Amino acid sequence: GIQVEQSPPDLILQEGANSTLRCNFSDSVNNLQWFHQNPWGQLINLFYIPSGTKQNGRLSATTVATERYSLLYISSSQTTDSGVYFCAVLHASGGSYIPTFGRGTSLIVHP
Amino acid sequence: EADIYQTPRYLVIGTGKKITLECSQTMGHDKMYWYQQDPGMELHLIHYSYGVNSTEKGDLSSESTVSRIRTEHFPLTLESARPSHTSQYLCASSELGRQAFFGQGTRLTVV
């Protein structure tokens, strides 16, 4: 099956700092999503981004499908950004289109 | 905004009990999924469904079972809970090939 690798696995920032999270995938994908898992365990949709660039406030994401990677940018980080960020890809394996997740990047933002 | 609901949010239950975790969505999505996640770890697909009367096992072997009698409802059942079943269970739904939406999750503890 398709492999999804996220880096770095852990990230510690001071409030106000910027960061870039990366998601590499081993095969062509039909779609890609970024999620933020909050301390209560809920997965919050951040971006649905099969290709191109999108921005939402302090967050933006870029997917370069031809080179099989996506980047999530967090600018002027806040303590509420803490949590785990997951990348999930939809790969048409036998027509199933099952979301496959990376292992996540755990982000801690200190005040 | 997506509407997908899981109940209960938290459950503590004794070994050997039968439990059913509920998942319902109001978006009319054909595809639904169950993932299992240990704290801070990656998500593992345990069951999915293409539509009514369709269920498939995921990548991670699970002793749970699922049913899909109605489009909006995808319950997960454990016939005899064990401490090894302690985990978070996340339900999601999507249109084919489109972005997935997640419920708030159920944190299960088997004592």
Mean pLDDT calculated for residue range A28-37:
93
| pLDDT tier for residue B29 given thresholds of 50, 70 and 90 | very high
Q: B45 to chain A: which residues are within 8 Å by CB? A: 98-100
pLDDT in tens, B35-58: 999 987 899 999 999 999 999 998
Mean pLDDT calculated for residue range A15-19:
97
State how far the Cα of A28 lies from the Cα of A63, in Å rounded to an integer. Answer: 12
For residue B57, the model assigns a pLDDT of 92
- Options 2.60.40.10, 2.40.30.10, 3.30.420.40, 2.40.40.20; which CATH number does B16-110 get? 2.60.40.10
For residue B98, the model assigns a pLDDT of 85
| pLDDT tier for residue B69 given thresholds of 50, 70 and 90 | very high
**Burial code of A13-24, b = ≥16 C-beta within 10 A, e = fewer?**
beeeeebebebe
Q: A45 to chain B: which residues are within 8 Å by CB? A: 2, 99, 101-102
Collapsing DSSP states into helix, strand and coil, what is residue A67?
helix
Mean pLDDT calculated for residue range B62-91:
95
For residue A95, the model assigns a pLDDT of 63
| Contact between residue A98 and residue A1 where contact means Cβ atoms under 8 Å apart | no
Res. B96: pLDDT tops 90: no
For A52, the enclosing helix (H) or strand (E) is strand A52-56
Q: How far is CA B35 from CA A14, A35, A98, B38, B100, in A?
A: 32, 15, 11, 10, 12
For residue A74, the model assigns a pLDDT of 98
- AA identity, residue B42: E
Residues 2-61 of A with CB under 8 A from B: 30-31, 33, 35, 40-43, 45, 48
Check CB contact of A83 with chain B, cutoff 8 Å: no
Cα angle A37, A38, A39 (rounded to 5 degrees) comes to 125
- AA identity, residue A57: G
- AA identity, residue A14: Q
Interface contact A43-B33, CB threshold 8 A: no
Q: Which residue has the tokens 């950004």?
A: A81
**Structural domains of chain A, ranges and CATH numbers in brackets:** 4-110 (2.60.40.10)
The pair of structure tokens assigned to A13 is 């920032």
| pLDDT tier for residue A1 given thresholds of 50, 70 and 90 | confident
State how far the Cα of A68 lies from the Cα of B2, in Å rounded to an integer. Answer: 28
Q: Which of A80, A76, A87, A4 is nearest to A43 (CA)?
A: A87
| pLDDT tier for residue B1 given thresholds of 50, 70 and 90 | low
| pLDDT tier for residue B2 given thresholds of 50, 70 and 90 | low
Check CB contact of A86 with chain B, cutoff 8 Å: yes
pLDDT in tens, A71-98: 999 999 999 999 999 999 987 766 667 8
